[in-house]
Amino acid sequence: MVSHQHVHPPSSKAPWRPLFQCHISILTSPEFSLATVYRNSSGSAHPRVRTCVFRGFWTELDLRETAKELLLKDEESNRGGINPNVFESDLLTFTTDIRMEKIAQMASTDGTDCGIGASGGGPIEAVFWVKDAMTQWRIKGRAFVIGNESCEASELWSRENIQRWVRRREGSAEEDITRWTWEKEITANFANLSPTMRGSFKNPPPGTPRSEPPSDPSLKLGLTLDDIHDPVARANFRVVVIIPEEPNALRKMKTLAKLASPFGKRLNFGPDKR
């Protein structure tokens, strides 16, 4: 694996990205299956898979109009704003709650977190099924979790590993580079969610029975949230950034319109060692 040992950012977009973006654009909802490894108390490994929503490429967020309005209000009050469009990357993102079990399952398992107990850096696989293109995308890589306080060692470690794969856009002004911040980018990801989705970060802890009232009165099911700086929700909100290492596309071929026994054509783009 080479992702977070990479020193110089790639100079151009990954060769697999145009086809991947074309396929993602035809999905009604850009959902994918995320596979991680769970280890029990005895150290035995077990697979875990869940459905997540692809939120775009890191630093290239496609902001909704409602999110833009919220972030512009932020800028007027000097609390943040919208980052200048100065960076690009091939790093996939999704959002999650820090209280979810998958956070621990994405932790580094090879000691590369330098002993700081960082969340993230571990191996994952993301699988997209694009029915209209009869193509399955399987992207192996490592996932890094961000959204904690910027002074935390684990947060800085994750940001450092992500930054190594981020490219500066050609022609971007130095002044705009200095205006770009991680905090604004993470807040933009939160603002881009629906009010209901933002409110879900104030749900009781995962696994809490519905019949059991939460011990924390600030937690409640079914909340909608307009405040993009709500301290409770933001404490639970995280952005997960996937560094692709082995992206593969398996195209299913139709034979006489029968799909019962399709044969496949694999497009192997990895490992990505640019």
Q: pLDDT tens digits for 73-92?
A: 999 998 999 999 999 999 99
At 257, the pLDDT band (50, 70, 90 cuts) reads very low
| pTM of the predicted structure, to 2 decimals | 0.89
Summarize pLDDT for 133-167 with one digit per residue, the tens.
999 999 999 999 999 998 999 999 999 999 999 99
> How much is the pLDDT for 256?
39
Angle between helices 65-76 and 182-191 (to 10 degrees): 140
d(CA 114, CA 122): 13
Q: Which CATH class is domain 3-268?
A: mainly beta
Going 208 to 146 to 95 to 115, the CA torsion angle's sign is negative
d(CA 138, CA 231): 36
